[in-house]
């Protein structure tokens, strides 16, 4: 099976870099569980390697930008590349985000030779703006594994040349992370190249190493004969409803859509599938359109599909930029389907009926007010009250960036302030003589605070505590932070958390970070 593979080196880095808005040449490492999983070229030349601990990576490359891995974003950013491959031939096989392959037998005939396919492919993926200047390598070989290895080296392996091409590669190629017990075993047996492994009789390998070993053996010998499978464009399950004449009322559309919604669900069910993520496209008669993806905690039933049609159209038809004409076409595209047996409602607690209802209502409010209007709070790590609360848009993975379990020395103990000001608002902290309170570099307060001015009025201070200096990230000029914090209680009994930067040549800029309301 002749295949073309497309490989984007350091895909986790590219995705994280695009998310963080950093330039392509910046030294970047992507970490999970405190270990580097991928790094950029600049970081690699500074000595950063996969598997290093974060501290060690930072010590080798002090200006290293450490970013957290976001696998959902990796898949999302890779989508345009997959679409470009799909424009060449159907049946794209995605190994993981960053690496995909297609069979080229059909396209070779259509484009007139492999060179034609490669030209078409580089045209299709070369101009993708979503990649932000990331590298992309293309390789052609027999079999998906050989094609992947060819893509990593940017090679075209002649037809029938795969076994010879693979023979010289080290056995670690079978599992780049090097953690599989099989690789370790092969190395200890003295089988250092794929060729040496492939020379063993297949029957003995299967008997000794089991099906996993047998499969690795087939790959090593370039006899990778598994069929191209996996992602096929789900065209056959897409349903379309044409409305003639166009309709401008949500309930009318929803009523007419009942039939197609039912067909959509039963078509999938007929193939033993159930939809968990659905793309809903609606078009107006004057060419406007709305496209939203709806992910569901469970399996979408006909009623759920209709609900989503209603919510999306309600949002579309009621917002200020509403379409000028009525809705004339609806299209339902299944984005993700699971085998019917795979999804099961939680038996105890979990996604019960109540939770389902609440999720639905929040999704509805999100449609009405826009993405990012409904937020979920996440407890994060940090020394300041503001750092310890993070809000993520509803439906996104509520992952913590910094672990709140770590000690974070210097953080204020409970109780936490109830109201956070983001950004902090300027305030006046004055001493008896009406001058701004200064904290000396040794942490002394020569003139204690006596009056406090916030949002217009100045009142006397009844009690105060502090100052507590915070000297964070002093090794990095950009993210370094050196502030003093104080707690103040004014005569009306209101308590505030204030902070200021003490500079030698400028008056202190006191600001309120949080209120103990």
Partner 1 sequence: MLDVAIRKADGSTAVDLGRRAAPPLPVAPALAPILPDGLRRGSTASVTGSLSLLLALLGAASADGAWCALVGLPRISAEAAAEYGIELSRLAIIEQPGSGWTTAVGALLDAVDVVAARPPGGRSGLPPGDVRRLAARARSRDAVLVAYLAGADEWPGADVRLSARDGQWAGIGAGTGRLRARQVQVSAEGRGQAARPRSATLWLPAAGGGVGTVPTVAPVVKLAG
Cα dihedral sign, 391-392-395-401: negative
Characterize the bridge pairing of strands 451-454 and 428-430: antiparallel
Q: How far is the CB of 364 from partner 1 (least distance, A)?
A: 5
Which CB sits closer to partner 1, 198 or 495? 495
User: Distances in Å between the alpha carbon of 203 and those of 47, 188, 193, 206, 215?
Assistant: 43, 21, 19, 5, 12
Which CB atom, from 60 or from 360, has the smaller least distance to partner 1? 360
Nearer to partner 1, 262 or 356 (CB): 356
Nearest distance, CB of residue 464 and partner 1, angstroms:
6
| C-alpha to C-alpha distance for 306 and 311, rounded to whole angstroms | 9
Q: Which of 180, 362 has the CB closer to partner 1?
A: 362
**Cα 439 to chain center, whole Å?**
43
Pair of tokens at residue 88: 């060449």
The Cα–Cα gap between 424 and 485 comes to 13
Q: ∠ CA(506), CA(508), CA(511), 5° rounding? A: 140
Q: Which is nearer to partner 1, 222 or 417 (CB)?
A: 417
> Min. distance of Cβ 388 from partner 1 in angstroms?
5
Which lies closer to partner 1 via its Cβ, residue 142 or residue 513?
Answer: 513
Least distance (Å) between residue 16 CB and partner 1:
24
Query: Rounded distance, CA 160 to CA 112, Å?
Result: 20
Q: How far is the CB of 397 from partner 1 (least distance, A)?
A: 12
Asked if 205 and 179 touch (Cβ cutoff 8 Å), the reply is no
Residue pair 138/9 in contact (Cβ under 8 Å)? The answer is no
Cα–Cα nearest to 262, from 295, 239, 236: 239
> Which CB atom, from 40 or from 511, has the smaller least distance to partner 1?
511
> Rounded to whole angstroms, how far apart are CA atoms 124 and 202?
40
- In this structure, the strands spanning 65-68 and 28-32 are parallel
CB of 256 to partner 1, least distance (A): 24
Q: What residue ranges bind partner 1 (CB under 8 A)?
A: 354-355, 357-358, 360-362, 364-365, 368-369, 373-380, 385, 388-391, 394, 398, 412-422, 445, 448, 463-466, 487, 489, 493-495, 514, 516-517
* Closest by Cα among 218, 190, 189 to 202: 218
- Tell me how far, at minimum, the Cβ of 473 lies from partner 1, in Å: 21
CA 444 from chain center: how many Å?
Answer: 46
Residue nearer to partner 1 on the CB measure, 271 or 357: 357
Q: Which residue is listed with tokens 């990331």? A: 134
Closest distance to partner 1 from the beta carbon of 361 (Å):
3
């Amino acid at each position: 099976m002749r295949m073309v593979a497309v490989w984007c080196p350091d895909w986790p880095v590219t995705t994280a870099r695009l998310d963080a808005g950093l330039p392509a040449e910046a030294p970047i490492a992507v970490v999970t569980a405190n270990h580097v999983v991928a790094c950029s070229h600049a970081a690699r030349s500074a000595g950063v390697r996969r598997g290093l601990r974060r501290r060690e990576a930072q010590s080798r490359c002090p200006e290293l930008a450490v970013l957290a891995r976001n696998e959902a974003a990796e898949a999302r950013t890779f989508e345009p590349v997959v679409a470009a491959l799909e424009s060449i031939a159907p049946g794209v096989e995605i190994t993981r985000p960053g690496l995909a392959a297609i069979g080229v037998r059909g396209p070779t005939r259509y484009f007139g030779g492999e060179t034609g396919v490669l030209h078409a492919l580089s045209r299709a993926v070369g101009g993708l703006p979503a990649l932000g200047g990331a590298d992309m390598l293309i390789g052609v070989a027999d079999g998906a594994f050989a094609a992947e290895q060819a893509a990593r080296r940017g090679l075209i392996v002649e037809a029938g040349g795969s076994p010879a091409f693979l023979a010289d590669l080290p056995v670690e190629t079978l599992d780049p992370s090097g953690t599989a017990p099989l690789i370790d075993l092969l190395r200890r047996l003295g089988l250092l190249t794929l060729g040496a492994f492939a020379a063993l009789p297949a029957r003995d390998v299967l008997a000794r190493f089991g099906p996993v070993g047998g499969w690795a053996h087939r790959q090593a010998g370039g006899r990778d004969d598994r069929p191209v499978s996996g992602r096929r464009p789900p065209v056959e399950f897409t349903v379309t409803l044409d409305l003639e004449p166009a309709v401008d009322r949500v309930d009318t559309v929803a009523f007419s859509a009942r039939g197609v919604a039912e067909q959509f669900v039963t078509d999938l069910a007929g193939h033993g599938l159930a939809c968990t993520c659905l793309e809903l496209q609606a078009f107006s008669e004057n060419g406007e359109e709305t496209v939203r993806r709806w992910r569901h905690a469970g399996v979408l039933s006909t009623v759920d599909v209709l609900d989503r049609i209603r919510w999306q159209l309600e949002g579309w038809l009621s917002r200020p930029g509403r379409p000028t004409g009525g809705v004339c076409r609806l299209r339902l595209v299944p984005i993700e389907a699971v085998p019917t047996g795979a999804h099961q409602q939680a038996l105890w607690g979990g996604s019960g009926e109540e939770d389902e209802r609440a999720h639905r209502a929040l999704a509805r409010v999100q449609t009405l007010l826009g993405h990012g209007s409904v937020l979920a709070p996440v407890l994060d790590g940090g020394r300041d009250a503001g750092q310890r609360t993070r809000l993520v848009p509803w439906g996104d993975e509520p992952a913590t960036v910094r672990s709140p379990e770590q000690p974070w020395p210097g953080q204020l103990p409970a109780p936490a302030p109830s109201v956070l000001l983001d950004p902090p608002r300027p305030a006046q902290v004055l001493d008896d003589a009406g001058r701004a309170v200064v904290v000396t570099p040794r942490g002394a307060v020569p003139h204690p605070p006596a009056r406090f001015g916030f949002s217009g009025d100045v009142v006397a201070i009844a009690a105060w505590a502090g100052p507590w200096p915070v000297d964070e990230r002093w090794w990095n000029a950009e993210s370094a932070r050196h502030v003093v914090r104080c707690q103040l209680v004014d005569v009306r009994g209101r308590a505030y958390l204030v902070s200021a930067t003490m500079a030698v040549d400028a008056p202190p800029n006191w600001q309120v970070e949080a209120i103990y309301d």
